Amino acid sequence: MTSLNVDVFVYPMEPYNSPDASGAGEIVTWAPMSSTLISGPTEAILIDAMLTTHHADAIAAWAKTFDKKITGIYITHGHTDHWGGGGRLLTHFPDARLYAAPEVAARAAWEADANKKSRYWSSRFPGQLTDPLVVPTVYPSNEILVDGKPVNIVHIGQGDIDGSVAFSVPSIDAIVAGDVVYNNVHMMFFEADEPGRDAWIESIDKIVALNPKIVVAGHKSVGAADAPDNLAKSRQYIRDFSTVARRGGSVEDLVNGMLELHGERDQNHTLWISARAEVARRQAAQV
Ligand SMILES: [Zn+2]
């Protein structure tokens, strides 16, 4: 019996309309993002829809080259840059539906509602989002069948936000990990303080225990291998960030300390955002 295949599309880093004043050497780009096609002989599903209409059009153009029936688009976590392109993707794949686990759908609905007032996403990508955003529907099971073969939803918990899930493809020992794992991209701690980061490490350990041979990260460099060593590398990056942050000092000190250890990673803007958030949390705790 044929097994399932996993193929990964990466949208590269691109400039966006950031409201933040940038630091010395900071390059303001949105992180490279992945969308994964899990396919059998005739059917396929997509994992993650990215953010904008141009992202969705790029995913669709790529996915159509596989010539499979796309039965569903499934989302790893509620950050809008992983599902906001879903409405546009559905126009390319009318037989599909946009689905997420309950905790993911709830966060997505919250983000869509918050954006109406905050314009968080609309201001960063003006005129580039579907309006209104199409929020994923709750998928009522932990098993998805692709040509009769299972893909399992694993409720992981803390990644770069809580309530993250991964998709396990047991027939080929693959895990599509969303933002629980990063691959050669600076990791986002805007919403992950030190206790959150400790929980995140436990999430990575849950994936390690599944002993995967293929690990797809939500944010990965173009061309980077979907190798399981990204689990240990992500865990080490998280530990190093907490170690450097505990030394105190400025945003620049934290950025430079991390660049000494992990300067090969893409997307230093994310490191700056993480460092600003960490120093702001420290200052708030001292008041
Ligand atoms: Zn993300």
Which is it for the CA torsion 56, 161, 215, 26, positive or negative? positive
Q: Predicted confidence band at 287 (pLDDT cuts at 50, 70, 90)?
A: confident
Asked if residue 1 has pLDDT above 90, the reply is: no
Residue 28: in which H helix or E strand, if any? none
Q: Predicted confidence band at 5 (pLDDT cuts at 50, 70, 90)?
A: very high
> 150 C-alpha to center of ligand 1: Å?
25
For the question of whether the overall pTM of this predicted structure is more than 0.95, the answer is: yes
Domain ranges (residues) in the chain? 5-286
pLDDT of residue 268: 98
> 40 C-alpha to center of ligand 1: Å?
27
Residue 23: in which H helix or E strand, if any? none
> 2 C-alpha to center of ligand 1: Å?
32
> 148 C-alpha to center of ligand 1: Å?
30
> 218 C-alpha to center of ligand 1: Å?
6
Sequence-separated (6 or more) residues with CB below 8 Å from residue 210: 154, 168, 175
In three-state secondary structure terms, 143 is strand
| pLDDT (mean) for 228-236 | 98
> 153 C-alpha to center of ligand 1: Å?
18
What average pLDDT is seen over the chain?
A: 97
> 1 C-alpha to center of ligand 1: Å?
35
Look up the CATH number of domain 5-286.
3.60.15.10
Answer whether 246's CB lies under 8 Å from 10's CB.
Answer: no
| pLDDT (mean) for 119-131 | 96
- CA dist., res. 264 & res. 179, Å (int): 19
> 212 C-alpha to center of ligand 1: Å?
21
| pLDDT (mean) for 85-96 | 97
> 207 C-alpha to center of ligand 1: Å?
18
Asked if residue 2 has pLDDT above 90, the reply is: no
Q: For 249-285, what is each residue's pLDDT tens digit?
A: 999 999 999 999 999 999 999 999 999 999 999 999 9
| pLDDT (mean) for 114-137 | 96
> 32 C-alpha to center of ligand 1: Å?
9
Q: Predicted confidence band at 106 (pLDDT cuts at 50, 70, 90)?
A: very high
Secondary-structure breakdown of the chain: helix, strand, coil percentages, each rounded to the nearest 5? 40, 25, 35
What's the alpha-carbon Rg for the chain, to the nearest Å?
18
| pLDDT (mean) for 218-222 | 98
Q: For 7-37, what is each residue's pLDDT tens digit?
A: 999 999 999 999 988 999 999 999 999 999 9
> 57 C-alpha to center of ligand 1: Å?
19
Q: 81-115 burial string, b = 16+ CB within 10 Å, else e? A: bbbbbbbbbbebbeebbbbbbebbbebbbebbeeb
> 287 C-alpha to center of ligand 1: Å?
31
> 235 C-alpha to center of ligand 1: Å?
17
Answer whether 115's CB lies under 8 Å from 72's CB.
Answer: no
Interior angle at CA 265, CA 261 and CA 268, nearest 5: 95
pLDDT of residue 3: 87
Asked if residue 51 has pLDDT above 90, the reply is: yes
Answer whether 253's CB lies under 8 Å from 23's CB.
Answer: no
pLDDT of residue 20: 85
Which is it for the CA torsion 91, 12, 242, 231, positive or negative? positive
